[in-house]
Amino acid sequence: MQHLNQTHTLVWAALLSLSASAQADDSITVFGKRSQHDEVATATRTATPAKLVPQSIESVKASELTAFGQPTLSEALTGIPGVNASGDTRFDGVTIRGFSASNDFYLDGLRDDMQYTRDLGNIERVEVLKGPAAVLYGRGSTGGIVNRVSKVPQRGQASSVSARVGSFDSRRFAADLNGEAGERVQLRLNLAQEDKESFRDEVTSKRTLLAPSVNWEISDSLNWLVQYERNEHDRTPDRGIPGVDGRPADVPIESVYSDTRRDFIDDLAQSTRSRLTWDINDQWQLRQQLGYTTLDSQFDNTYVTSVKGDKVTRARWQQDLKASSLTSNTEAEGQLQTGPVGHRLLVGVEQSWQERTPRLYQNASPIPAGNLYDPDSLPTYDGAMKLASDASHKVRGVGLYVQDQLSLGDWHLLAGLRRDDFTVTSRRNDLDKEQTVSVTSLSPRLGLVWNPIEEHAFYTSYSKTFTPVGGELIGLTPGDKNNKLDPQHTRLYEGGVKSDWLDGRLATTLSLYRLEMYNKRSKDPLDPTRVLLTGLQRTEGIELSARAQLTDEIYLRGGVAIQDAEQVKADEALQGKRPMNVSRQNGQLFAGYQSGKQGWFGETGVTAVGDRFADNANTTTLPGYARFDARAGYRWQQWEAQLSAENLTDHDYFVSATSAAQIMPGTPRQLHLTAAYRF
């Protein structure tokens, strides 16, 4: 703790020293013409035009992700080029450019890597930064990160209430209430209640969301934003259907292999966040962000572990999990000039404390096998449960980072470096064993943008990240001889061009990349208990994203990715295989019409995903699919009504898998009718 305090003091001194030497020149180009490229903050932690970010980033409004229903976050992101769903019944999960990002979720720039499903009712937009991001966010971020940007109080913001009903007895009521408590205090409250059944037999879900926030303009230069979010989700666990002979089993898609009479998952996730912003002068700003997140999760779940012929074997597990995360981030951002070169500097320190205490039980005796084709008759296990593990895991992290965005005429250079000190302590209470492991790592980033004409910006970049032992789903096995292995590392080489066409009505991003994880853990062929850092996983790809406002009424949005992901050096059974839940192609294209603030509006489009494998050994294939969605509505005065159809053609498809025995079918055609009132 003394080390943390000393570090904090040194960083504050450096920040104040920098603010004292600041000069008044602006260092970031402002585009004069209209552009469909958004301004984004996730990629640089500064408000930077996406066109000047030397890395691929997608910014999607939450209203677009939920336009046709209320999907899970992982399902909602499947149309983004290079992103595939990989989540299961317990928590959100995606793969980005061939690498799992299930522990790389963020909320307003703060790590949110706990195992739960996130509601988008309090979210303004979702930004997906592709490629390593350790220079700003620390460990992980192998394929990229997913950052949810929440709704905040604003002056003059309208309020709304809405109701949605639809297929499978789905009902959702939501409110976005805004107000002002004086000239300098703005308030916002987001509420939601959702109840729904499923196309899957006896699978139900109930969710509530409560998210108040207040913004206080303490003075002209000092602002304080405080936010709270309570996300409660009670549901029936559903891990899909098993695979047979290399394909999903030929059973009705409503077939459920859980024990629905008893199985449950109850999650309560809470987040409290504070952001204090001080404009020191016209060029320098000091920010202090504090976030505290907790998760209380219990589940009882019976699910398939293997299939032999027409017989399935199941296991029953129970877990009582409590987790918490406290993050403090202090940074200074400012602009200065050195001769003809403009600088936008960012200097920061991040400190984090995470804890996770899972207590896990499993069936004490085997569960008899049952008939794959008659899931209703599968044997039920009501016998004794035995303790499988009782553990507590703690992570302490300190990150120091500096970033400089330099501008000289048509050239823009982004350079950054971060040092992380990571310590994990795990204790097995049931075995009376404990171990602590510490690691230090440097993460660089370098990018160059050439903007010779206003419409086109060419870029190239290199970045690197690290994944230490015990740094993914936090925790390690005390006493394991592999705990002191060096971190796995990932490096990205990327180049591309970001362009505006048709007088700014069309924006495109074209990127080519190579993403490699080296020092990857693999088993010693002579000693399976020993792990070697000899593995290599690589993805090479090309992505194209586009967004267009062709006329005042007609718009387009979409993109496509082609990626070649391979386990280049791995265990013999995995050598040369494609990682699970990774398609060679995916993308989407939507066209919409909107006749101003009043009148008709509508949108239709397709989301396409190529075939994927349900397991890393590539024994079971998930067929590719194309899903068509459509919606139409009408706005008049303060009212809005909309009818939407997801999977309009009622196509059978599979979303993701967590193993060859657990494959999740996609939802058949579903209709939703939504009414909203704004005031």
Torsion 586-562-92-664 (CA) sign? positive
pLDDT above 60: residue 248: yes
Q: How far apart are CA 230 and CA 592, in angstroms?
A: 34
> Mapping DSSP to helix (H, G, I), strand (E, B) and coil, where does residue 666 land?
coil
Q: How far apart are CA 289 and CA 351, in angstroms?
A: 11
Could you give the percent of the chain with pLDDT greater than 90?
90
| Confidence grade of residue 529 (pLDDT, cut at 50, 70, 90) | confident
Answer with the residue of higher pLDDT: 529 or 199: 199
pLDDT above 60: residue 414: yes
| Confidence grade of residue 541 (pLDDT, cut at 50, 70, 90) | very high
Rg, C-alpha atoms of the chain:
25
Cα–Cα separations (whole angstroms), residue 154 to 38, 149, 188, 509: 19, 15, 8, 31
Which domains, and CATH codes, for the chain? Answer: 2-387+397-678 (2.40.170.20)
Find out whether 129 and 144 touch, Cβ atoms under 8 Å.
Answer: yes
Average pLDDT score over residue span 482-510: 96
Q: How far apart are CA 81 and CA 98, in angstroms?
A: 11
Find out whether 118 and 87 touch, Cβ atoms under 8 Å.
Answer: no
Give the model confidence (pLDDT) of 640-651 as tens digits: 999 999 999 999
Give the model confidence (pLDDT) of 52-100 as tens digits: 999 999 999 999 999 998 889 999 999 999 999 998 899 999 999 999 9
Angle at 661 between CA 658 and CA 663, to 5 degrees: 55
Query: Cα 419 to the chain's mean position, in Å?
Result: 23
Locate all alpha helices (DSSP H) within 48-152, ordered by sequence. Answer: 62-65, 73-76, 134-137
Q: Residue 151: CB partners within 8 Å, gap ≥ 6?
A: 122, 123, 124, 176, 188, 190, 211, 213
Average pLDDT score over residue span 137-163: 96
220 DSSP assignment: S
In this predicted structure, what is the pLDDT of residue 11? 37
pLDDT above 50: residue 275: yes
468 DSSP assignment: -
Give the model confidence (pLDDT) of 259-271 as tens digits: 999 999 999 999 9
pLDDT above 90: residue 507: yes
In this predicted structure, what is the pLDDT of residue 99? 97
Give the model confidence (pLDDT) of 546-582 as tens digits: 999 999 999 999 999 999 999 999 999 999 999 999 9
Give the model confidence (pLDDT) of 586-644 as tens digits: 999 999 999 888 999 999 999 999 999 999 999 999 999 999 999 999 999 999 999 99
Average pLDDT score over residue span 372-382: 95
pLDDT above 50: residue 10: no
In this predicted structure, what is the pLDDT of residue 525? 84
In this predicted structure, what is the pLDDT of residue 520? 94
pLDDT averaged over the chain?
Answer: 93
Give the model confidence (pLDDT) of 199-221 as tens digits: 999 999 999 999 999 999 999 99
pLDDT above 70: residue 430: yes
Residue entry with tokens 């008709």: 600
> Mapping DSSP to helix (H, G, I), strand (E, B) and coil, where does residue 76 land?
helix
In this predicted structure, what is the pLDDT of residue 33? 63
pTM of this structure: 0.93
Q: How many CA atoms lie within 13 A of 541 on its CB side?
A: 30
Least trusted range by pLDDT, from 28-42, 259-273, 279-293: 28-42
Answer with the residue of higher pLDDT: 227 or 34: 227
In this predicted structure, what is the pLDDT of residue 526? 82
In this predicted structure, what is the pLDDT of residue 328? 98
Q: Beta strand pairing status for 599-609 and 110-111? A: unpaired
In this predicted structure, what is the pLDDT of residue 15? 35
| Confidence grade of residue 37 (pLDDT, cut at 50, 70, 90) | confident
Burial class of residue 94, CB neighbours in 10 A (0-12, 13-18, 19+): buried
Question: What amino acid occupies position 588?
Answer: Q
| Confidence grade of residue 380 (pLDDT, cut at 50, 70, 90) | very high
Q: How far apart are CA 543 and CA 89, in angstroms?
A: 29
Backbone angles phi, psi at 3, to 5 degrees: -60, -40
In this predicted structure, what is the pLDDT of residue 203? 97
Backbone angles phi, psi at 48, to 5 degrees: -125, 135
Per DSSP, what are the bridge partners of residue 435? 426
pLDDT above 60: residue 123: yes
pLDDT above 80: residue 22: no
| Confidence grade of residue 25 (pLDDT, cut at 50, 70, 90) | very low
pLDDT above 50: residue 2: no
Nearest to 424 by CA among 399, 467, 393: 393
